[in-house]
Amino acid sequence: MSVKGKWTVRDGLSLEKAIQQAQALHQQRLSAGYDQAALDRAARLGFANGAFEDSEEFYPETQASNTPSTSPSLVEKLDQRASA
């Protein structure tokens, strides 16, 4: 790869030709329905949701004990309704 200023282009490829190729690729993606801005927004939202899930608010400070619950489970409640 050649470095010209702050641009990096493939060996044997002029900056002008690289720009033309990039513009052609951009047009192909647009005509195919590719929307980079929408993908970026979705990624930001996904990362934001991940940050919430990793926060301390999501996980309580005290962990539940391993003792069985005294209230009936959902399965037990559904079984009770089905038998009624």
pLDDT (tens digit, 9 = 90+) per residue, 1-26?
454 456 678 888 899 999 999 999 99
**Overall number of domains in the chain:** 1
Reported pTM: 0.40
Query: Does 70 fall in a domain?
Result: no
Judged against a pLDDT cut of 50, whether residue 71 lies above it is answered with yes
Nearest to 1 by CA among 14, 11, 15, 16: 11
Query: Does 25 fall in a domain?
Result: yes
Find all residues with CB under 8 Å of 36, minimum gap 6, and list them. Answer: 29
Helix ranges restricted to H, the chain: 15-31, 36-54, 74-83
Tally of residues, the chain: 84
Query: Does 67 fall in a domain?
Result: no
Separation CA 67–CA 80 (nearest Å): 23
- Give the range of the structural domain holding residue 9, as residue numbers without chain letter: 1-55
Query: Does 4 fall in a domain?
Result: yes
Query: Does 61 fall in a domain?
Result: no
